[in-house]
Amino acid sequence: MTIADFAQEPPHDIDAEQAILGVCMHSQYIVPHIRRVLPDPTVFFRPAHQQIYSAILELYDGDAPTDPVSVKDLLDQLGILGRCGGHLYLFELFQLAPTAGDPQHHAKIVLRHARRRAGIMAARQALQRLESSDGFDDVSGALTDARDILDKAAHDTAPTTAKVRNIDEFLASVDENAPYDWVIPDLLERHDRLIVTGPEGGGKSTWLRQIGVMAAAGLHPITGEVIDPVRVLSVDLENSELQSARALRPLRVQAGDLLKPDQLHIEVRMAGIDLTQAEDRAWLAQIAMETRPDVLITGPIYKMASGDPTEEKSAKPVAMALDAIRERVGCALVLEAHAPKKPSGTTKRPREPYGWSGWLRWPEFGVWLDEDGSIEHWRGQRDKRKWPAALARGGAWPWSPVSDEIELKWIQIKKARELAGKKMAQRDVSAATGIPRSTVQRVLNRYHYEWVALNEQAGDGDE
């Protein structure tokens, strides 16, 4: 084999390169997904494409649009628009953007050809070294050099990351004593993730709508106290527009003039979305970038991807896409999720989300809102917050905090009875809840008829 054997045109795929550039100019929000695969513009074969891609990344990093007009303007400022094909070529790329398929797959095609080109170049260098070598030691050294060249080529064409900070650089760049960046005081900080589960029809969707409306109106969703209004984006993936409007109308009336319309944006996609696909990831990221919410409320989780929700390949991309949005936009995430059905032979329905086990450890907070308003944490809280022990139906808003200690104890007693699955005497209640018997008696005196009815539902025993 000689150098002449490598003389054919290096491997490349101009169609894939054009498709990527067109999609990036079509949607700014696909750029970070492409960048994960192609962090270095030099992987493009055509020099003009390298310059165009560099311009797109520069615009994106500056939070500027990546449309053909913006790219043309930047290339013109740099004095290289003509070398990149001129403005007509940019609009041609824009029109060539595929409407189907996965742009990340196209990016992987470009990366594969870039690696092949790098391998061929390394092989040429190695062959030149071998052809000019003379003697055993020289050949041995040439082979070692060839191996080093090929290894370097393999690493140079792999996706790269920014310089990793050492411990002192990291600590110097992070102020661990910085105050909380609240979006809802004492409840949700920017970048927090909350998943709410609950029984079907139990009121969790209503509570999430209430959180959105009150926070946007400048009212604390739990205490009702005045707070700084926040921007909220609500993406309903389950209800129709008519159903959502009927549910939101009374909340809007209650908020009145406190709610400025641009503080709360609503999007309804009853058919759900598929965040395993680049198109839907880009769509959700786009509306988030357009509205810039402090709080993004969406769900249910099972309508955010196709495939089996219990499998990591269907669920993990959802979590990754949501994480990318909260990092880019700087918002807190509030998700609705459904819980598994109660297993046969058990007395308590699971509280955690149905599906992928990763949802158990992904959020900072995971709460179950029961039909009676009691709140349970199915995920250990990563930070101490002022979550209520229970909510009560009714009042100025659909859900109100419970401050009556006797009522809170009553909710606790009902839960103990539910778990027991049999009739309980007052001493049993006290042992199960840790509530003194004298307090148990006071609670059951207030809720006498409800307790008798509840306690008669199963088993024998004393009252």
The separation between CA 127 and the C-alpha centre of its own chain, rounded to angstroms, equals 49
Which backbone phi and psi does 453 adopt, to 5 degrees? -65, -40
| 91, two tokens | 């609009």
pLDDT of amino acid 159:
52
pLDDT of amino acid 174:
80
User: Which CATH architecture does the domain made up of 3-156 adopt?
Assistant: Orthogonal Bundle (1.10)
**CATH superfamily of the 183-401 domain:** P-loop containing nucleotide triphosphate hydrolases (3.40.50.300)
Distance CA 276, CA 351 (A): 26
**Angle between the 448-455 and 405-420 helix axes, to the nearest 10 degrees?**
10
Every domain of the chain and the residues it spans: 3-156, 183-401, 405-455
Distance CA 98, CA 104 (A): 12
The separation between CA 149 and the C-alpha centre of its own chain, rounded to angstroms, equals 40
The series of mean pLDDT values per 10 residues for the chain, 463 residues long, is: 54 93 89 88 93 94 91 94 94 85 85 85 74 64 64 54 75 84 95 96 95 97 94 96 95 96 96 89 88 96 93 92 90 96 81 94 96 90 89 90 80 84 89 89 88 75 37
pLDDT of amino acid 449:
86
pLDDT of amino acid 402:
81
